[in-house]
Structure 1
Amino acid sequence: MGIIVPQLRTVNVTRYVTPLREGGSLPAIAEADDDFLYVLKFRGAGQGPKALIAELIGGEIARVLGFRIPELVFVNLDEAFGRTEPDEEIQDLLKFSVGLNLALHYLSGAITFDPTVTYVETKLASQIVWLDALLTNVDRTPRNTNMLMWHKELWLIDHGAALYFHHSMEKWEEQALRPFVQIKDHVLIRRAADLKEVDKEFKAILTPEQINAIVAIVPDEWLNDRSFETADEQRQVYAKFLNTRIANSDIFVTEAQHARSQLI
């Protein structure tokens, strides 16, 4: 299988439509100059550019693995938007987010995945659990599944809480080799019976070259961690973290199997 090189389009916001929910990140529905609606994630929100980095890397890894993911696009936000917004909180968010942001294509009419309503096959459940264990994604729980049903198909959204190692990068080597104990709270952990099979299949896809191709698209302007001298140095840590984690996937697979055994 050849390397898939992500190709993200860049659009410009033409209209701020509405905030999606209350909270620190305050994503919004916005219209762009291609006339499509997007769920816009702001670089000026709570976790700053690192949430966008996690969203981008996590989303594109998921896409390479064959999951249904709304199209991700880079979004330019002009400083003029902050001047006309009456809500002070949103005005500040727009002001601090001028420049390059990230957005997901808005799936109009999609409904939140409900595990009590929709049956997920064992293989697919195992694939999603493996992905989230790799990414250390703490945000796919029964309380907040971050999955949508759209045209009777399951779509994954919102990987901004993944890769939480990057909030304290000094010990990334140590963190790359840690089991992901929070997998016990995953909404699909009970159904993840095929983790060993999935592990073999997914490791064959996520070669170091493939991971490097995904990480390479992270914009320099988001890579502003002051503990690194250059953006590329920070970018390489993401690649090394993921490649180390994949090479030692038995650590997080064993943890997920153990968590499942405690529940069934």
Structure 2
Amino acid sequence: MLTEVIATRYVTPLREGGSLPGIVEADDLGTYVMKFTGAGQGRKTLVAEVVCGELGRRLGLRVPRLAAIQLDPVIGLGEPDQEVQELLKASGGLNLAMDFLPGSIGFDPLAYEVDPAEAGRVVWFDALINNVDRSWRNPNLLVWHGDLWLIDHGATMIWHHNWPSAAASAAKPYNASDHALARFRPDVRAAAAELAPLVTEELLTEVAADVPDAWLVDEPGFDTPDALRRAYVEALLPRAATVHTRITLDEPTPDRPSQAPGWLTARLDPTARKGDRA
């Protein structure tokens, strides 16, 4: 299970994304980026963050440490932004926190070189989890102390938004032509040889167990949180073995729109009005 901390101070909102995460301090003296259950994307975004973030960490990729964080909305009473106030009020209870990386900068492919081996591992991992939100338009990568860090995995495993079609969706190919690291000649086959054998049923079961029950209850078609956890294992396990054979890496097309589904791009759009994200 994730370490659980208690939010003690709301510092400031982050306005880079549509979910309006915030920087908070916690009772373990840590500083975190907090993502809220009351945000428009809903709790499945947090589930995806945990499953994919913890899986990435166990595969040796750099992902900020995650924690479950208890929020009492009263800590934000001094925040003047009405939208933030409403978000905090809607998110009392258990939320998600990830380590804040002070001094990190957003990844720029023109300023930072990535070797083909590391690029291959990231592309293979994103193909496994079907990450539609690590393109050159929005890399969701940070550089911290000279290393590449992966963030924001809420727009992954899009099959979990429609479980009846999950098996078919999880078997689909992955077009990495517009991936943020495509220009670095990612060695996907080497990555698959290294990482695919590590993605075992035991590992996926362990990762799924990190998701709090509170974010898994009342899912249509599943009687218990553990039954839903099992569905994540069954979707990811067969994909890990063969997804490298279905990754496309063509020339990027700067004029091509995002390949994310329309319902998802609307929710991820930082310019969307609050009502649009409900």
Q: Same fold (TM over 0.5)?
A: yes
Name the CA distance, whole Å, in 2 between partners of 1:74 and 1:193: 33
How do residues 34-45 of structure 1 correspond to structure 2 at under 5 angstroms?
Answer: 34-45=28-39
* AA partner of residue 100 (structure 1): L
Given candidates 50, 66, 70, the residue that maps to 1:76 is 70
| 1:37–1:105 CA contact under 8 A, matched in 2 | yes
Given candidates 9, 16, 20, the residue that maps to 1:15 is 9
How do residues 175-186 of structure 1 correspond to structure 2 at under 5 angstroms?
Answer: 175-181=169-175, 183-186=176-179
- Unpaired runs of 5+ residues, structure 1, are 1-6
Name the CA distance, whole Å, in 2 between partners of 1:130 and 1:22: 26
- Unpaired runs of 5+ residues, structure 2, are 253-278
- Corresponding residue of 1:211: 204
1:27 is displaced (CA, Å) by 0.4
- Corresponding residue of 1:234: 228
When the two structures are superposed, what TM-score results if normalisation uses the length of structure 2? 0.85
After superposition, the CA RMSD in angstroms is 1.8
Name the CA distance, whole Å, in 2 between partners of 1:195 and 1:15: 43
* Higher deviation after alignment, 128-137 or 76-85: 76-85
SS in structure 1 at match of 2:49? helix
Equivalent residues, number: 252
| 1:72–1:102 CA contact under 8 A, matched in 2 | yes
How do residues 61-210 of structure 1 correspond to structure 2 at under 5 angstroms?
Answer: 61-81=55-75, 85-181=79-175, 183-210=176-203
Once the two structures are superposed, residues 141-179 of structure 1 have per-residue CA deviations (whole angstroms, 9 ceiling, x without a partner) of 112111111111111111111111111111111112111
When the two structures are superposed, what TM-score results if normalisation uses the length of structure 1? 0.90
| 2:2–2:66 CA contact under 8 A, matched in 1 | yes
* AA partner of residue 51 (structure 2): I
Name the CA distance, whole Å, in 2 between partners of 1:233 and 1:92: 33
Given candidates 50, 53, 58, the residue that maps to 1:56 is 50
Name the CA distance, whole Å, in 2 between partners of 1:119 and 1:79: 42
| 1:30–1:40 CA contact under 8 A, matched in 2 | yes
Name the CA distance, whole Å, in 2 between partners of 1:175 and 1:208: 20
